[in-house]
Amino acid sequence: MKPRVKPTVFLVTAIALAAAALASSHREAPYVTEHPKIDGTDFYMFRSYEPGREGFVTLVANYLPLQDPYGGPNYFFMDPEALYEIHIDNDGDAVEDLTFQFRFNSRLADITLPIGPDATPVSVPVINVGAISAGNTASLNIEETYSVSLVRGDRRKGHARAVSNADTGARTFLKPVDNIGNKSIPDYPSYSAAHVYNIRIPGCDQTGRMFVGQRKDPFVVNLGETFDLVNISNPLGPVDAERDDLADKNVTSLILELPISCLLKSNDRPVIGAWTTASLRQARVLDPTPNFSRPAVEGGPWVQVSRLSAPLVNELVIGLKDKNRFNSSEPKNDAQFAQYVTHPTLPAILEILFGSAGVRAPTLFPRTDLVAAFLTGLEGVNQNGSTAEMLRLNTSIAPTAADSQSNLGALGNDLAGFPNGRRPGDDVVDIALRVAMGVLLPADQAPSGQLPFTDGALCSVSLFDSTFPYLRTPIPGSPNNTP
């Protein structure tokens, strides 16, 4: 039997969700729109619900938003000059204790074809010249690889050790090429599955799993109408009446499945916090005569330019003037953004847009209760002692099987879901809309709190796989397999 949420916990949970959003963090800050390869779109953390894997936590960091499946000829390689990281705080001080660092590299095969009567070898302009499969990549012109390190302690000063392939001992991993199309890669599920690795984690006596590659974008939102002044045809339902505007988009995912025992500092501290970041070198000099591997010279210390944990914080909570600053900040310094939480603007915007129809924003100010929930975790659920914006997960709460999950997470009496971590099937959009307007506040503080707001695009666990890596096969650039 699922545990019932106590009314006080239920209320605080709901208030915390008001800081979630109408869309995830796709192109959420001015600077990252110039650098899509380091733009984090979504971050997930949940107890693995694949049968037999309940002793693990899955972390998913998605990057490079709004990928059109037909995005050739270059498709969506990661930035070899960037540092992608997943940080974990396991002692409640809002400072990373474990950091998984990802670095990417692209190797050019430089495939040539004999052209003309003299059979002159000429380099081809495309990414592949024939079909690709798990056992045959000879026709692939660019091969993307990556390495992963685990840093214990400070992300820049701590001790770093390489994550390795548990089966071969290799420290370099192959990343599958994006889903070019069904003629180029006739069996993409089998091809990508060959890139799921059992990994050996430094300092851990259990192995984990890892997949890095393109996936179908898991976020579900009626994006276009939402950002057109919430121009939704029926904002009161039904919840599945509108199109998911990301239904035809892909994303690049960094997915780790790690033993719970290797993440905790001690068994009496079961709550972990986590977030993902991307950093670039401080200096960049463009090469006036660039080649494939060296279009610029980069150096200097790492500078963080992207940050993400809970959905939409930077997109619809942080003011436009501070979005770049939030992306460069660390959780331990989040007090500087407190005003955006104590006096959230999203409800006021909805009142401006729909005030003539009687919509009124909640009147409780300052939102000290929201500060407590949003920045500290929920008492009795996932509080960990820190005051900072991060995704928190209580690893002692058992996962809910896929066929029993509520897409409303804790609001649906399913404590294994958002905001206790976040699963792919948690519908944070509808939750946020309703709670932002005060569905669980007294009527005198939330006159419109009982209206069933929705963006009309339904998210549920049925849209995802029930086994690792959970996110589904990316949409092919060409659906046909024509000879």
The model's pTM is 0.91
CA distance 374 to 335: 12
Give residues with Cβ within 8 angstroms of 56, minimum separation 6: 47, 48, 208, 209, 257, 258, 259, 260
346-371 pLDDT tens trace: 888 888 888 888 888 888 888 665 66
Q: Do 182 and 478 contact (CB within 8 A), yes or no?
A: yes
Q: Which residues share a beta bridge with 121?
A: 114
Which sign, positive or negative, has the C-alpha torsion 382, 386, 392, 396? negative
CA distance 117 to 130: 23
> In the numeric block, which tokens belong to residue 134?
């798990």
User: What confidence score (pLDDT) does residue 374 get?
Assistant: 66
**Nearest-CA neighbor of 155 among 204, 102, 79?**
102
User: What confidence score (pLDDT) does residue 26 get?
Assistant: 75
**Nearest-CA neighbor of 263 among 35, 59, 33, 471?**
59
User: What confidence score (pLDDT) does residue 132 get?
Assistant: 97
Per-residue pLDDT of the chain (483 residues; tens, 9 = 90+): 343 433 333 333 333 333 333 346 677 777 888 889 999 999 999 999 999 999 999 999 999 999 999 999 999 999 999 999 999 999 999 999 999 999 999 999 999 999 999 999 999 999 999 999 998 999 999 999 999 999 999 999 999 999 999 999 999 999 999 999 999 999 999 999 999 999 999 999 999 999 999 999 999 888 777 777 777 766 666 777 778 888 999 999 999 999 999 999 999 999 999 999 999 999 999 999 998 888 999 999 999 999 998 887 777 778 889 888 888 889 999 889 888 878 888 888 888 888 888 888 888 888 665 665 567 888 889 989 998 989 999 999 999 999 999 998 888 899 999 889 999 999 888 777 777 787 777 888 889 888 877 788 889 999 999 999 999 999 999 987 655
**Nearest-CA neighbor of 448 among 437, 460, 462, 433?**
437
Helix (H, G, I), strand (E, B) or coil at 131: coil
First-to-last C-alpha distance (Å) of the chain = 54
User: What confidence score (pLDDT) does residue 448 get?
Assistant: 85
User: What confidence score (pLDDT) does residue 81 get?
Assistant: 95
CA 52 and chain centroid, separation? 24
Q: Do 146 and 78 contact (CB within 8 A), yes or no?
A: yes
CA distance 335 to 316: 18
* DSSP state, residue 389: -
CA distance 421 to 83: 24
Helix (H, G, I), strand (E, B) or coil at 273: strand
Helices (H) and strands (E) in the chain, counts: 8, 16
CA distance 46 to 397: 10
CA distance 449 to 89: 35
* One-character DSSP codes across 38-100: G-EEEEEEEE--STT-TTEEEEEEEEEEEE-TT-TTT-----TT-EEEEEEE-SSSSS-SEEE
Within a 10 A sphere around the Cβ of 166, how many other Cβ atoms?
Answer: 17
Residue 223, H or E segment: helix 223-227
Helix (H, G, I), strand (E, B) or coil at 316: helix
CA distance 156 to 303: 11
**Nearest-CA neighbor of 430 among 404, 412, 403?**
412
> In the numeric block, which tokens belong to residue 261?
């025992």
User: What confidence score (pLDDT) does residue 339 get?
Assistant: 85
**Nearest-CA neighbor of 31 among 325, 264, 259, 291?**
325
Give residues with Cβ within 8 angstroms of 298, minimum separation 6: 81, 280, 281, 283, 284, 285
Q: Where are the domains of the chain?
A: 7-463
CA distance 292 to 302: 23
> In the numeric block, which tokens belong to residue 466?
């029930």
> In the numeric block, which tokens belong to residue 322?
């501070």
